[in-house]
Amino acid sequence: MNSIIHHILEEGEELKAPPSIIYVAANSASVKINHLSHVQTLDEGNAYWLKNNSILTPSNKYLKIYVIQMNDTKQEEINFTSSDPCVICPILDQLLVLQKSKSFVDRCQFQVKLWELIGRMTKPQPLDDIDHTISYIDCNTHQHFTVQELADKARMTPVSFARAFKKKTGVPPKEFVLDKKIKKAKELIFQNKEMNIKDVALHIGIQDEFYFSRLFKKREGISPSLYIKKVHDLKNI
């Protein structure tokens, strides 16, 4: 039966991978086929069909991958398209849960959803450059963005990007990024009881906790300290 394994490798670690589909969820990897000297780079957001036993190592400090082992090891060459980890990883995580189930229905669902996912990863995705930029912002709320950097990702000039971005989202890029950061901050506060204001600010890429407090109050109408207290009071009811 087909199966999925999730791996997180630290710098210096190696993984001997059997013939399988490798999906790179975070960072990049170097892969070497056992009997060959050629080294291939596997990039984040891409899937690869490795036909032979291979050795994978992180190219950076760590590597997050999913290994999809297929029964059909004689599968012909598969051409995968780049797929956003924010979209693909939740599906793979759901599949990991389904494959552990002893339910016949769940096992059937696992096989169906796995083949649907592989079909999705081999089909060109209808996302335009603005959509890709929005997905990138969603996945990286811990980073600081400038309009120039976002425009470069969308392969546009800053002026054209800002105009197209506002037309699609209804708000300028800077406002959109700040909205996402505050939304993430609220999620962190709700999920982590021990987190203080400084830690929350750092997790969303804001170094100055006082600036974060002003920004939070301006957008939510309440200071983060009062919001934290409000959340904790609700949880204690």
> pLDDT tens across 59-114, in order?
777 788 898 887 765 555 567 877 888 889 999 999 999 988 888 998 899 999 99
Q: Give the architecture-level CATH label for domain 3-121.
A: Sandwich (2.60)
122 in Cβ contact with 78 (< 8 Å): yes
Could you please state the CATH topology (level 3) that the domain comprising 129-235 is classified under.
Arc Repressor Mutant, subunit A (1.10.10)
As a whole number of angstroms, the distance between CA 199 and CA 6 comes to 28
pLDDT in tens, 175-190: 999 999 999 999 998 8
Place of tokens 């929005």: 134
Q: From CA 204, how far away is CA 226, in angstroms rounded? A: 19
Q: In the structure, what pLDDT confidence band is assigned to residue 137 with cuts at 50, 70 and 90?
A: very high
Contacts 24+ apart (CB under 8 A), 210-213: 212/185
Looking at the predicted structure, is the pLDDT value of residue 50 above 80? no
Report the pLDDT averaged over residues 104-130: 81
Whether 38 shows a pLDDT value over 60: the answer reads no
Q: Which residue has the tokens 């190219």?
A: 59
Model confidence pTM above 0.85: no
Nearest to 81 by CA among 125, 43, 51, 117: 125
Chain centroid to CA 4: 18
- As separate numbers, helices (DSSP H) first and strands (DSSP E) second, the chain gives 9, 8
Lowest mean pLDDT among 49-58, 73-82, 127-136: 73-82
For the chain, the maximum distance between any two Cα atoms, rounded to a whole number of angstroms, is 63
Helix intervals (H) in the chain: 85-100, 104-121, 129-139, 147-153, 158-169, 173-191, 197-203, 209-220, 224-235
Domain ranges of the chain: 3-121, 129-235
Instruction: Please determine, for residue 47, whether its predicted confidence score (pLDDT) is greater than 90.
Output: no
